[in-house]
Each structure stands twice: as structure tokens, then as C-alpha cells.
Amino acid sequence: MNELYSICWNITNKCNENCKFCYRKLCKDNTIEENKKIFDQLSKIKIGKISFCGGEPLLYDGLFEIVDYIHNLNPQIKLSITTNGQIIDDKLLEKIISKFDYITYSIDSSNEEMNEYIGRGYNHLSKIENLLKKCNNRIKIKINTVVTKINIEDLENIYKIISKYNISRWKILRFYPLRRGKENQKLFYLNDESSEQVKKIVAKLNDNSRFKIHYNDFDEFTTSYFNIYPDGSIENSKDEDIGNLKEMSILDIINLKKEDLINHNMRKNYEEL
């Protein structure tokens, strides 16, 4: 395999929210020059899209320098940013719209008290709705929702909120008990019966939705994502380190991870470049 449809580049561990289901890997952030060298490695293969995640990627001081570096070397790669939106003012939003093809926001509840409880902060929803209004029809917008046993009944309310805007896709991710999420597994864990309920809700909503709605179950979580962590490390589907792009070739990494990547490029079936 010398092609990756999509890469999730977790460029920093810094974050200004405190989500109880967060699965970011706590490690040291790379320098700007180290991340440029990682992109040089990535350039050895064909890539469709890079999604900058975190933590909160806007807290990484060199984010836009890395973005410009990518644009200069390979302007064909689509770029996305997943942000909690907390530090975005009008000036920063304009810069994001000028540099990125997609912006992804997370909405995990239609209730501000619930947002505060799970760690997103009391003003999270109102902040995101304000940004959605400003972004509407100016950049492709995606929404992520982590579905748990405490918000499964809220999915249709979230749908009503995001349906007011020109959304490209809504991804509903089944809570995955990893890292901090493992510590809060009793609070959030979604059993198989409830997971089937989510699938029925998604099917029902998809019948009349103007945008794509996709449910990300456990199997896709472990096999359809290629994650780069802030220190450049890569893990397999068992959450074990298999190498670091500062020290290894991307082709060697892919060879070690090839069994995990069977479904990776199948994401083209439900994502647009």
C-alpha cells in the first residue's frame, strides 16, 4: 500500500477543554521542524486528506506554518481541522477559512449543563452555534458526536440543531474506552443493544437528511484511521506503539500496520475528498 486516503494528525496534546471521554495520547509535542520532517516522510506516498486534531490544534503555535509547508509542497492534499472552537475569534476564523477545506466541530449534547458535566464547558454549544452561523456556506462543515449511554436520547435534538446549517457530514462515534475514556467507562459505555438503537436512529435520520450521517462503531475506530500522535508515534489497533515517523519510513510503518489498514481506504465510501 502506497496510498492513505486520510490521516488524522494529532499535532498537540494541549487542550482548553477537559472531556471525560478524551482518548488523546499524553506525550511531548514535536517541534515545527520535526513536524515538517514528518510531512516529508508522508510525501513519499499518495495522501487524499490530512485532518489536524489534538488536543486542540489551534493551541499548537506552528500550526499555520505546517499548513503552509504542506500547501507549498503538495497543494492537492485536502486539509481539515477539528477544533473545539473556544479560542476562535473573527480574525482567526477568517484565517482558518482561507487555509482549510473543512472544519469539524464537536457537539455531544444539546444541553449546556451536560456539556459542562462531560468536560466541554458550559458555553461550548452556544460557541459552536455562533461559529456555525459564521461558517455557513463559506467552508465545508463536519460535526462529530461521541455517543454514550448518557446522550443517546439526545441525538435527535442534536440533529435538529445542525440541520439549520449547511453541514457536509455528521459522524457519530461510539464511545471508545481508551486512555481517559477507560477511566470513565462506567459512566459512558454503550452496550451492544444500545449501539443497535443508535444504528436505527441513524437510519431513520438518513432517510430525510440533507447531509450524510455515519455511525462509527468499534471496528471502524480501530481499522479505518491512521493516527499520528504529537510526538510522531504510530500505534496499531491494540494501542501499541509500532514506530515513529521521525525515525522510520512511512512505507515501513504502513507495512507494520497493513493488517489494521484493510478498511482504511474504504472510508471513501462515506467521506468526500
Give CA–CA dist 116/122, Å, rounded.
Answer: 4
> Is residue 257 very low, low, confident or very high in pLDDT (cuts 50, 70, 90)?
confident
pLDDT per position as a tens digit, 93-111:
999 999 999 999 999 999 9
Q: Peptide bond before 55: cis, by omega within 30 degrees of 0?
A: yes
Looking at residue 148, its amino acid is T
Q: What is the pLDDT of residue 201?
A: 97
83 or 259, which is more confident? Answer: 83
Say what the pTM is: 0.93
219 pLDDT exceeds 70? yes
Query: What sign for the dihedral angle of Cα 260, 186, 9, 30?
Result: negative
The DSSP call for residue 264 is: G
Reported as a pLDDT band with limits 50, 70 and 90, residue 236 is: confident
State the pLDDT confidence band at 273, using cuts at 50, 70 and 90.
Answer: very low
| Per-residue pLDDT at 1 | 61
Taking the alpha carbons at both ends of the chain, their separation in whole angstroms is 19
pLDDT for residue 31 is more than 80: yes
Q: Coil, helix or strand for 55? A: coil
Query: pLDDT tens digit string along 51-68?
Result: 999 999 999 999 999 999
pLDDT at 271: 59
Q: What is the pLDDT of residues 153-165, one digit of tens each?
A: 999 999 999 999 9
The torsion angles phi and psi of 84, rounded to 5 degrees, stand at: -85, -5
Query: Which of 145, 160, 161, 237 has its CA nearest to residue 198?
Result: 145
β-sheet bridge partners, residue 171: 144, 214
d(CA 131, CA 125): 10
User: What CA–CA distance (Å, rounded) separates 102 from 51?
Assistant: 9
Domains with residue ranges and CATH for the chain: 3-269 (3.20.20.70)
Mean pLDDT of the chain: 92
Least confident of 21-25, 74-78, 227-231: 21-25
Comparison of pLDDT for 122 and 188, the residue scoring more: 188
